[in-house]
């Protein structure tokens, strides 16, 4: 019996060593998502940016210069890239409705890693909390333990922004942290939780998939006041058009109702829906947005110091954010400034590269699975009957690996509207599903952005291509900031027809 016990211990240790060796072949994954982050980073050439830590990450990574979200709204975008399904498949364009109950039991990105032996943990905002993730951030399907939410996030819309009138619910909100509720801020709490998790995992035999979601620069623009020092107001550059684009269909306009509700912006009495923010306030908002990004950059620098060089790091924004371009603010549109996001991918033992091919956030899931060398790889979805595990994007590994590879890929996004003209109620910016009457389907490559606004059935989730209410066509060769709509120009008719066929084939779900 004594000998049998020794043999058991030897056998057990052998199995343990085998498991350690097996798991050591699997790379850890750090997945960073920043809320409402456009490519307002030094590495993307933003003249108002100061982001040394993210720029340093990019210098050793694959940098995608033209990555796009599938919808410029947090909940739909996050559910889209976490399931690798487009909003029309998920039937989610607002914040209500859980895909597992309403559409299908689709596998998520963290769930797939969990099912392959990874410890998966969510810190901060990865899924959008609420009914669109079953009020649990999709736990326990996606995560090995309950997701962490910073306690101070409950004060997101509290009157904690100091100004000459007292403490109010402002958009521009630099603060002294020691005077804030709980004497902290949400992203500071998330950073500490993520660092603690990483330190605990250093002796674990299991690989990890850690999702860290930072809340800023989501409005309100609340950040430690000292970060304004990196962005003196006299250095803020507004070198873009702040007027409504020529020929823009009314259905395409987003009246940025969210920031109009903030006390400091409401004080300006800006006419709804086309009134303009004064230039001094435009500079002030741009200053605060970039200061909030610098704040997050500092936290990301601390986070990256905790991971080794053998860790895959994926860094994205969930969608962009307008900073006065076209006279618009916030997200809620199909313009490049609302749909384009930063996407940085550090892959161990891969040379840094800059990739200009348009890619999509639905590509993130299959790409990370392939880079982690998990099996099976994610198959393409059958549009008629999608399986629980499939992608409506594509793995970017081939694009990453082959410097000679040239892709003619388009990126596709969409945005819903309740009315043809901008409205406050129902909200043009965030319409509930029951109010959606029109859908703007858009696609972009290096040459063009093309959009069709069509009648949309909110119960069958199908567009009526025979009922167009607006068309947009921008030539990126000479109008990269999308200020002149060429859709009605006779000389562009052939281009429009070609692009229309591609757009409709991509989004025709009746096939």
Which of these, 37, 87, 39, 81, lies nearest to 442 by C-alpha position? 87
In a domain, 496, yes or no: no
Distance in angstroms (rounded) separating the CA atoms of residues 102 and 114: 23
In a domain, 11, yes or no: no
pLDDT at 83 over 50: yes
Q: What is the pTM of this model?
A: 0.94
Catalytic residue among 66, 74, 149, 381: 74
In a domain, 417, yes or no: no
pLDDT of residue 5: 56
- Where are the extended beta strands (E) located within 400-485? 411-417, 438-444, 448-457, 462-475
| pLDDT band at 407; cut points 50, 70, 90 | low
In a domain, 491, yes or no: no
- Specify the number of domains making up the chain: 1
Model confidence pLDDT, tens digit, residues 320-350: 999 999 999 999 999 999 999 999 999 999 9
Model confidence pLDDT, tens digit, residues 242-288: 999 999 999 999 999 999 999 999 999 999 999 999 999 999 999 99
Print the domain residue range for 393: 20-411
Catalytic residue among 66, 91, 116, 128: 128
Which of these, 56, 82, 58, 55, lies nearest to 70 by C-alpha position? 82
Q: What is the CATH number of the domain that holds 97?
A: 3.40.720.10
200 with 148: CB under 8 angstroms?
no
Query: Could you tell me the CA-to-CA distances from 227 to 11, 174, 287, 298, 300 in Å, in that order?
Result: 57, 8, 10, 10, 15
Question: What is the share, in percent, of the chain residues with pLDDT greater than 90?
Answer: 90
pLDDT of residue 4: 58
In a domain, 312, yes or no: yes
In a domain, 72, yes or no: yes
In a domain, 331, yes or no: yes
Question: CA angle, corner 143, sides to 142 and 144, nearest 5?
Answer: 135
In a domain, 67, yes or no: yes
- Let me know if 74 is a catalytic residue: yes
- Let me know if 215 is a catalytic residue: no
pLDDT at 53 over 50: yes
| pLDDT band at 507; cut points 50, 70, 90 | confident
Helices (runs of H) and strands (runs of E) counted in the chain: 14, 18
* Three-class DSSP labels, 19-69: HHHHHHCCCCEEEEEECCCCCCCHHHCCCCCCCHHHHHHHHCCEEEEEEEC
Model confidence pLDDT, tens digit, residues 431-445: 999 999 999 999 999
Model confidence pLDDT, tens digit, residues 373-389: 998 889 999 766 567 99
Query: Could you tell me the CA-to-CA distances from 357 to 68, 120, 299, 407 in Å, in that order?
Result: 11, 31, 29, 6
Distance in angstroms (rounded) separating the CA atoms of residues 206 and 19: 9
* Of residues 16 and 254, more confidently modeled: 254
Alpha helices in 201-335 (DSSP H): 257-260, 263-266, 279-304
pLDDT of residue 510: 62
**Mean predicted confidence (pLDDT) in 397-403:** 85
């Amino acid at each position: 019996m004594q000998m049998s016990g020794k043999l058991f211990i030897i056998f057990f240790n052998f199995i343990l060593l085998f498991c350690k060796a097996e798991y050591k072949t699997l790379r850890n994954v750090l997945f960073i998502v920043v809320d409402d982050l456009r490519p307002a980073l030094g590495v993307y050439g933003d003249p108002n940016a100061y982001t040394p830590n993210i720029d340093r990450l990019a210098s050793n990574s694959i940098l995608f210069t033209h990555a796009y979200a599938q919808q410029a709204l947090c909940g739909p975008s996050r559910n889209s890239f976490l399931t690798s399904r487009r909003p029309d498949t998920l039937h989610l364009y607002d914040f209500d409705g859980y895909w597992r109950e309403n559409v299908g039991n689709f596998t998520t990105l963290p769930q797939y890693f969990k099912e392959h032996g990874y410890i998966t943990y969510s810190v901060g905002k990865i899924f959008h909390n609420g009914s669109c993730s079953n009020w649990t951030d999709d736990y326990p399907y996606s995560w090995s333990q309950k997701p962490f939410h910073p306690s101070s996030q409950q004060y997101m819309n509290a009157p904690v922004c100091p100004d000459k009138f007292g403490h109010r619910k402002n958009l521009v909100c630099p603060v002294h942290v020691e005077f804030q509720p709980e004497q902290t801020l949400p992203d500071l709490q998330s950073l500490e939780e993520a660092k603690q998790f990483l330190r605990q995992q250093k002796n674990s035999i299991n690989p990890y998939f850690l999702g860290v979601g930072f809340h800023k620069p989501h409005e309100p623009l609340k950040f430690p006041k000292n970060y304004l020092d990196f962005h003196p107001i006299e250095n803020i550059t507004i070198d873009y058009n702040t007027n409504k684009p020529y020929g823009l269909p009314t259905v395409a306009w987003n009246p940025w109702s969210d920031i109009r509700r903030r006390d400091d912006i409401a004080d300006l009495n800006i006419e709804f829906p086309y009134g303009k923010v004064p230039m001094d306030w435009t500079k002030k908002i741009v200053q605060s947005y970039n200061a909030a990004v610098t704040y997050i950059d500092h936290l990301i620098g601390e986070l990256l110091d905790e991971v080794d060089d053998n860790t895959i790091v994926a860094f994205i924004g969930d969608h962009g954010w307008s900073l006065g371009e076209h006279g618009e603010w916030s997200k809620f549109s199909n313009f490049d400034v609302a749909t384009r996001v930063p996407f940085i991918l550090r892959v161990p033992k891969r040379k840094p590269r800059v990739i200009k091919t348009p890619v999509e956030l639905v590509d993130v899931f299959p790409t990370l699975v392939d880079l982690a060398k998990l099996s099976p790889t994610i198959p393409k979805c059958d549009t008629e009957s999608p399986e629980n595990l499939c992608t409506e994007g594509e793995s970017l590994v081939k694009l990453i690996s082959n410097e000679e590879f040239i892709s003619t890929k388009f990126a596709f996004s969409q945005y819903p509207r309740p009315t043809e003209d901008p409205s406050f109620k129902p909200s043009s910016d965030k319409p509930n599903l029951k109010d959606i009457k029109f859908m703007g389907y858009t696609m972009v490559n290096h040459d063009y952005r093309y959009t069709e606004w069509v009648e949309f059935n909110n119960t069958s989730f199908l567009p009526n291509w025979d009922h167009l209410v607006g068309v947009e066509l921008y030539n990126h060769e000479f109008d990269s900031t999308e200020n002149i709509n060429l859709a009605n120009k006779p000389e562009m008719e052939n281009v429009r027809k070609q692009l229309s066929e591609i757009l409709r084939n991509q989004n025709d779900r009746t096939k």
